[in-house]
Structure 1
Amino acid sequence: MALAWQLAKRFRRAKVQNRFISFISMSSTVGIGLGCFVLITLLSVMNGFERELTQRILTVIPHGELYSTDKTGIENLDAQLYRLNQDPRIAKVEPYTPLTGMLQFKGELKAISLTGIAADAQNTFSRQVTDEHWQNFALNSDSVLIGQGIANKLDIEVDDTVQALIPVTTKDLRFSAPTSITLTVAGFMHVGGELDNQLGLMHLAKATAAAGIEGQALGMRFTLHDPFSAYITMRDIGYSYPQAVYMSDWTRTQGHLYNDIQLVRTVVYIALVLVIAVACFNIVSSLVMAVREKQPAIAILKTMGATDTLIRRTFMFQGVLNGLIGIVVGVTLAIIIAPNLSTIVKFLEGVFGVEVLSGDIYFIDFLPSALMWQDVVVTCVVAIIMSVLATWYPAHKATKVSPSQSLH
């Protein structure tokens, strides 16, 4: 094994008469390194998007919901909240009443989705609402927090008075005159993306009264320890609930974002693994030509007693060495750049005056990145395996060299 490794390094350092072989060998190393670098970097970006989805949107959008099928609201609310909070899968349960209507200010209208919540739910929205605005909201039962996008569109300032127009349906499903609620703007929410143009928060009691709910709240909002288990968990809770309720989870409303992230992750992984595979084909080409050029040396080694195993290992090590150099360089660059990608992209945006992600369209206005070591390990293992496989055929061809013909 040690002799094979020494011969491989010697063959690799030896002066190559055919410069084209050196070029192919170098291109395989560069291709593998570039593939590893881009693959780890893009997987880190996908991890960053998933992290931001969890920490931004899924702190405002409940992981799961149960709500009454009629105007009676949730029965025995306090007892049910106590019972559900004992479930180890659930981090927090809060009562809520949703309202959908139009927000009116100075003759202009904007659609809004209001959520009535308890005034002590600040921790749920700590990332989206400043402490000052939340204190303003908590002190006034007639106050409202609105999305920054709505405030910008209607030119609303803190302490402005707005009207919320809530549609009312009769028992025969006809619309009657909408309910008008006068609210004072206590502050703004900043979630990111389209949600800033839709969401608002108001006090639970006022929302429940405006919706005509007989109980304390129409439903309950769930925050789970594992938000990605919401589909199974909410159905398990809903099917066993003692009251007729509708059940929902975040995958119905925002699941497309997560599905898009996973789809892009899969496509990126397949595409870049194929790039690494193409680079490994260059290892095949360079080794086949190297075997042809080194036929006299192979013949001399055989006449000196070298076995086929030694010859095979020599050329396999030579090919793997090219792959390892590319892997080490590519992975090292990725480990350095991926954690700092957000800062690098922000700097380039300032230099070239371009915007990679618009906060008005996407739920974030920067390129996130989160390096995960399992991605690094998997990428290295895949690249090494493909490099080893690429060396087998040329190494096998080297064992077929005939000393009598090569030294003739």
Structure 2
Amino acid sequence: MHKPLSLFIGLRYTRARRRDQFISFMSLSSMIGLMLGVAVLITVLSVMNGFDRELKQRILGMVPQATLSSAQPLRDWQSLVTLAEKTPGVAAAAPMSQVQGMLTANGQVTGAMITGIEPALERKVSILHDYMLFGRMEDLKDGEYGLVLGQQLASNLGVQPGDPVTLVLPEASLSAAGVIPRFKRFTVVGIFQVGAEVDGMLAYVYYADAGRLLRIGDAVQGVRLKVDDLFKARQINQQLLAQLPPFFYGSDWTQTQGSLFNAIKMEKAMMSLLLLLIVAVAAFNIVSSLVMVVNDKKSDIAIMRTLGATPGMIQRIFLVQGTAVGLGGTLAGVALGVLLSLTVSDLVMFYERLSGVHLFDAYFVNYLPSQLKWFDVLWVGCTAFALSFLATIYPARQAGRVQPAEALRYE
């Protein structure tokens, strides 16, 4: 098959000959450096995507994605739930009330957010039921003052299912002894462990029990929503508020947890930028290796010029060589990066079993999560190839400027 002369010679220069082994080694090291840089960048991005996914599933699976709250006690909350579930983009809705207080047991005191829920509907909007260590959500029943605690809260208080816990409300009551805070005793009926910070700050009771604490009877403060698209939560809230009386107001996860996810997004961007420097260093190695090739091939360039090769043809020869090195390194790096991204969780688990060291016990997940996104693969691959191609331009132009007479003077 006929090949353009510049393509034929450029590809031939990439293959080693005995007297060119050092030059070939330089080209190979540049290719390996580019491959490792691309593979590491894809793998790290996949791991960060995995942590981001776990955070969204666990934290946003526990805290409300969007809420519709009322300035007045909401007694007919069933109608609001029905209205919300009929709205496009809303997956489910459930009643909720919240009260802040102090939990005390065994001489220990810790603050907590007490949330009143309806267990049957809460299953549709929360992942709580999937992470119960002890007991069930259905153990929360009207009038029994049961309490479901996060594992960290239970550990801080030193309690187990069946133990009593006293809730101290930040509301003073007048008595013969003076002004004293309100107390209410609960019984622990369940413990959950999501593995995030919510384990140390959330507790759940039946919504009617929470209503009695808030002195609103069996009414609730509002309704929490689970949405199909997290980034449309605010839009859905505004759409629902337009159909409700003015004493309703809304909030969404971007107001309560947005700073956390913005921090993760910024960290991912900065990590990508730093790791991209590895690819840039590998591209610089391509420059140095091609400059050495040009110096070594000056006599060959001069001979080709005397035989009629134009400076443009000489430039294309070395562009082909550098592009072949860059393309080979990029493709190998993409393949290795994809393979590592798909297997890194299993590799880390194998290492933990082999060494007996558990690397992630201190984190909110007990394994190394990884989520491969093909957009990241495409972005990394295209960026690496573009940098490697740009790295070939300077040596190729220098090769095109070689003067035959000067190159052959001392031959």
Residue identity in the other structure for 1:56: R
Are 2:68 and 2:224, in contact at CA under 8 Å, matched by a contact in 1? Answer: yes
Q: Which residue of 2 aligns with 1:388?
A: 389
- Residue 245 of structure 1 and its aligned partner are, at CA, apart by 3.3
Q: Which residue of 1 aligns with 2:30?
A: 28
- Residue 57 of structure 1 and its aligned partner are, at CA, apart by 1.1
Separation in structure 2 between the aligned mates of residue 355 and residue 260 of structure 1, nearest angstrom: 26
Separation in structure 1 between the aligned mates of residue 142 and residue 84 of structure 2, nearest angstrom: 29
Separation in structure 2 between the aligned mates of residue 111 and residue 31 of structure 1, nearest angstrom: 52
Change beyond 3 A, Cα 1:14–1:37: closer
- Secondary structure of the 1:185 match is strand
The answer to whether the aligner puts 1:52 opposite 2:54 as a matched pair is yes
Change beyond 3 A, Cα 1:222–1:51: same
Are 1:167 and 1:176, in contact at CA under 8 Å, matched by a contact in 2? Answer: no
- Residue 141 of structure 1 and its aligned partner are, at CA, apart by 4.3
- Residue 238 of structure 1 and its aligned partner are, at CA, apart by 4.2
Aligned counterpart in structure 1 of residue 42 of structure 2, from 40, 44, 52 = 40
RMSD: 2.7
Q: Which residue of 2 aligns with 1:101?
A: 101
**Structure 1 segment 308-327 matched on structure 2, within 5 A:** 308-327=311-330
Change beyond 3 A, Cα 1:245–1:168: farther
Residue identity in the other structure for 2:322: G
Q: Which residue of 2 aligns with 1:64?
A: 66
- Secondary structure of the 1:126 match is helix
Are 1:73 and 1:215, in contact at CA under 8 Å, matched by a contact in 2? Answer: no
Deviations 1:276-334 (A, max 9, x none): 12221221122122112111112222333334343222111111121122222222221
Q: Which residue of 2 aligns with 1:402?
A: 403
- Secondary structure of the 1:13 match is coil
Separation in structure 2 between the aligned mates of residue 354 and residue 131 of structure 1, nearest angstrom: 27
Separation in structure 2 between the aligned mates of residue 155 and residue 142 of structure 1, nearest angstrom: 19
- Residue 130 of structure 1 and its aligned partner are, at CA, apart by 5.9
The answer to whether the aligner puts 1:374 opposite 2:375 as a matched pair is yes
The answer to whether the aligner puts 1:298 opposite 2:301 as a matched pair is yes
Change beyond 3 A, Cα 1:136–1:78: closer
Change beyond 3 A, Cα 1:135–1:65: closer
How many equivalent pairs are there? 401
Residue identity in the other structure for 2:369: P
Aligned counterpart in structure 2 of residue 227 of structure 1, from 220, 230, 237 = 230
- Residue 375 of structure 1 and its aligned partner are, at CA, apart by 0.9
Change beyond 3 A, Cα 1:350–1:140: farther
**Structure 1 segment 174-189 matched on structure 2, within 5 A:** 177-189=180-192
Identical positions, percent: 35
Change beyond 3 A, Cα 1:232–1:356: farther
**Structure 1 segment 327-366 matched on structure 2, within 5 A:** 327-349=330-352, 351=354, 355-359=358-362, 362-366=363-367
Change beyond 3 A, Cα 1:397–1:108: closer
- Secondary structure of the 2:250 match is strand
Residue identity in the other structure for 1:167: P
Separation in structure 1 between the aligned mates of residue 54 and residue 4 of structure 2, nearest angstrom: 49
- Residue 231 of structure 1 and its aligned partner are, at CA, apart by 4.0
Moved more, 196-205 or 186-195: 186-195
Separation in structure 2 between the aligned mates of residue 150 and residue 381 of structure 1, nearest angstrom: 48
Q: TM-score under structure 2 normalisation?
A: 0.88
Separation in structure 1 between the aligned mates of residue 241 and residue 142 of structure 2, nearest angstrom: 34
Q: TM-score under structure 1 normalisation?
A: 0.88
Change beyond 3 A, Cα 1:312–1:76: same
Q: Which residue of 2 aligns with 1:165?
A: 168
- Residue 76 of structure 1 and its aligned partner are, at CA, apart by 4.1
- Residue 49 of structure 1 and its aligned partner are, at CA, apart by 1.2
Deviations 1:236-283 (A, max 9, x none): 544664132343222333223211211111011111222212221221
Are 2:207 and 2:218, in contact at CA under 8 Å, matched by a contact in 1? Answer: no
The answer to whether the aligner puts 1:150 opposite 2:153 as a matched pair is yes
Q: Which residue of 1 aligns with 2:254?
A: 251
Aligned counterpart in structure 1 of residue 197 of structure 2, from 194, 197, 204 = 194
- Residue 25 of structure 1 and its aligned partner are, at CA, apart by 2.8
Separation in structure 1 between the aligned mates of residue 37 and residue 167 of structure 2, nearest angstrom: 54
Separation in structure 2 between the aligned mates of residue 56 and residue 140 of structure 1, nearest angstrom: 30
Separation in structure 2 between the aligned mates of residue 182 and residue 358 of structure 1, nearest angstrom: 33
Q: Which residue of 2 aligns with 1:289?
A: 292
Are 1:168 and 1:176, in contact at CA under 8 Å, matched by a contact in 2? Answer: no
Are 2:345 and 2:369, in contact at CA under 8 Å, matched by a contact in 1? Answer: yes
Are 2:16 and 2:24, in contact at CA under 8 Å, matched by a contact in 1? Answer: no
Are 1:75 and 1:243, in contact at CA under 8 Å, matched by a contact in 2? Answer: no
Separation in structure 2 between the aligned mates of residue 235 and residue 176 of structure 1, nearest angstrom: 42
The answer to whether the aligner puts 1:10 opposite 2:42 as a matched pair is no
Structure 2 residue ranges without an equivalent (≥5): none
Separation in structure 1 between the aligned mates of residue 169 and residue 191 of structure 2, nearest angstrom: 21
